[in-house]
Chain A
Amino acid sequence: MFKYILKKEFLLISRDIHALLVLFIMPTLFIIIMSLALQNTYSNTIDTKLQVAINTLSNKDTTHLTQEINKNNYFQAKITNNENIKELIYKKKFDFIVNIVQEYKTQINTNKKDFHIDIYLNPSISLQNQLLFKNLLTEIISKQIMKEYFIKNKIDGKTLSKLNDKISIIPTYKEEKFKIKPTSVQYSVPSWLVFSMFFILIPISNAFINEKNFGTIDRLKSMDIPFISIILGKMVPYFIINQIQVLFMILVGIYIVPLLNGDTLQINGNYGLIFMMSSAISFAAISFAIFIANISSTSEEATTIGGVSNILLAALGGIMVPKFVMPEFMQNITTFSPMNWGLEGLLEIFVMGGGLSDIKTYILYLVIFGCSFLALSYMVLKKKENV
């Protein structure tokens, strides 16, 4: 019997073009777009460097300053001879304009009272990049001055001059053997995977509401089929579809994103953990979908309620905006979204090399969430005298 239930659900899904678009094409596009868009955020290089104009006359110091900026992976500088600032930003497309006097070193060394450096910038430049550039400028000028001081006082400043190279950034993983570089695709795949798994709501609610409205559910209930079989008959096929989504999205990360010059998704052999986590997410998503289907009268109503709920849960859960860019109070709010539990669990596996002990809490939360919504669905059905 179960074979035919599965066959029926798969036939219906395979013939529902909208469901296929939502479950497979939408997340694929999200993964590709976001992996490529956020590539620079997780990389120590940048494809298009931010353009800097050192808006002063050329001399030995300003030339040196420009050369030092150009050694940085994020910025490219050139000297512009006191040109109009707005023209430099909006016509010549510079991102930063540094207004600095030629004899800046002398003025710093003599503590000249009105000395200052003005950095004009395109307002669209992120605060992160603004601070990065300001720190870089401070570092280069400080080094220039200190180098002269060291030479003058015969102090060996070799180590200090190469201090930047002496500072290493070492990602520390929970599992010693885990050596996966954190890249945008390692974040994008789990994020959009969780999001798309919750969109199983669309085909589930359509199927439930059609069965309700067409009277098929009455026919099923009049037959000698236990209620639990009807529910399992819905949950198991969609659980399998969720697992196919997981496989599909991982393959997109491994094979499709690199074709478009993105990073390659790396899986460190933690297939068992991925399956456990994806099963818990699937259970939560399907239970939530069944609840929405039960409280809605039409497909339009279910799609609206479900779609809006999913987008809110995604926004709150750190799917749309990465959690690390959120202020603390927002980061605390994310812990109330089931999508965040799913995402954090998958990130533990995909990015941090975590084990079962690191994901068990998230699995527990998702299972409790799923059970709660199943219980609520049962109560709604019971109230409607449908059980």
Chain B
Amino acid sequence: MTIEIKNLTKSYKKNKVLDNLSLEIKEGSLFGLLGPNGAGKTTLVSIMNYLQTSDSGEINIFGYDYKKDKKQIKQISSYVPQTYAFYPNLSAFENLEFFGALYGLKNSELRKRIEYCVEVTSLEKFLDKRAHTYSGGVKRRLNIAIGLLNNPKILYLDEPTVGIDPQSRKYILDVIKQINSEDKTTIIYTSHYMEEIEYLCDDIAILDNHQIILHDKKELLLEKNSFITIETNEENIQVDIKNDYNNLIKMLNLIKNRNTPIENIVFNNKNLEELFLNLTKGNLRD
């Protein structure tokens, strides 16, 4: 079972946001969607959650047709927006009770599900306090807890760790990993934070210029982008090796011809940030 997106296009007036985008995400994966500002990440997730319409293209989610099976797709999905999408003047319990009831949960079923979501996100101490009094980290946890109420098969998390301290971030990332591994929930995670995606996701795509420019398993992605550093007494030279060693042989011959002594040779993988900046040309985006 997969999520399949084919030739998805979306424009705002004359500005193209998604241009013939195609993507496939496997069930149960922890999928990270990276992209600079304005690349179209939020638009893609919004379309998948019926918050916006596309101009053309097809989406199939776990066998359900996006256009025909809206109700079924909504029932198996949950969207956690980038903002604190709850009522700050209600307590955590009142928020969870309200959203749980909207998901159709009743009485003991609702109570049990709230207990589970509270336990997973460690909100016990905050249940009766109004949400506007929480720290950023607790607010983020409540945001996720609400997203878990309907026991979704697909959980969309749009930049869920923005503006919180490192401890809270680590906690939230571990909770997401736990949800993915224990409940087999497919996670679609968008973020600016490369190290988060690298730590969390096993399947990564980079969205830039309105298209997916790279999509692969994390290990393969990094492996394919490995390089060797040749340290000489004059300079350190980085050589991309990708799938063959021709570049390396050429560079070694060049150094040999210059009679420069080699001090060390180090084998490296590019980290995700380097790869991302390299692919997106490192240009500043509006």
Q: CB within 8 Å of B: which residues of A?
A: 1, 3-5, 7-8, 11-12, 15-16, 210, 213-216, 218-225, 385-386
Q: Does B103 contact A (CB under 8 A)?
A: yes
Q: CB within 8 Å of A: which residues of B?
A: 46, 49-53, 71, 74-75, 77-90, 94, 97-99, 101-104, 130, 146, 150
A11 to B90, CA, bound (A): 7
Which secondary structure dominates chain A's binding surface?
Answer: helix
A-B contact count (CB 8 A): 80
Residue pair A218, B79 in contact (C-beta under 8 Å): yes
Residue pair B82, A4 in contact (C-beta under 8 Å): no
Residues in chain A near residue B71, CB distance under 8 A: 224
A220 to B82, CA, bound (A): 14
Task: Give 23 A-B contacts (CB < 8 Å), ordered by A residue.
Answer: A5-B102, A8-B90, A8-B98, A210-B88, A214-B84, A214-B85, A214-B86, A215-B82, A215-B83, A216-B85, A216-B87, A218-B79, A218-B81, A218-B85, A219-B79, A219-B146, A221-B49, A222-B50, A222-B78, A223-B74, A223-B99, A223-B102, A224-B103
Q: Which B-chain residue is minimally distant from A207 (CB atoms)?
A: B87
Q: Which A-chain residue is minimally distant from B12 (CB atoms)?
A: A385
Quick one: given A4-B101, A214-B85, A224-B74, are A12 and B90 in contact (CB under 8 Å)? yes
Shortest Cβ distance from residue B157 to the other chain A in the assembled complex, whole angstroms: 12
Shortest Cβ distance from residue A3 to the other chain B in the assembled complex, whole angstroms: 7
Residue pair A4, B97 in contact (C-beta under 8 Å): yes
Shortest Cβ distance from residue A135 to the other chain B in the assembled complex, whole angstroms: 60
Residue pair B104, A1 in contact (C-beta under 8 Å): yes
Task: Report, nearest first, the 8 A-B pairs whose CB atoms are least far apart.
Answer: A215-B83, A4-B101, A215-B81, A215-B85, A222-B79, A224-B74, A222-B49, A219-B85
Residue pair B89, A15 in contact (C-beta under 8 Å): yes
A214 to B101, CA, bound (A): 20
Shortest Cβ distance from residue A322 to the other chain B in the assembled complex, whole angstroms: 39
Name the residue among B49, B51, B104 with the largest chain A CB count within 10 angstroms. B51
A41 to B261, CA, bound (A): 108
Residue pair A220, B102 in contact (C-beta under 8 Å): yes
Q: Which A-chain residue is minimally distant from B147 (CB atoms)?
A: A219
Residue pair B52, A385 in contact (C-beta under 8 Å): yes
Shortest Cβ distance from residue B72 to the other chain A in the assembled complex, whole angstroms: 9
A1's contact among B50, B87, B89, B102, by CB below 8 Å, is which?
A: B102
Shortest Cβ distance from residue A365 to the other chain B in the assembled complex, whole angstroms: 35
A205 to B113, CA, bound (A): 32
B81's contact among A3, A12, A219, A223, by CB below 8 Å, is which?
A: A219
B50's contact among A15, A216, A221, by CB below 8 Å, is which?
A: A221
Residue pair B75, A224 in contact (C-beta under 8 Å): yes
Residues in chain A near residue B102, CB distance under 8 A: 1, 4-5, 220, 223, 225
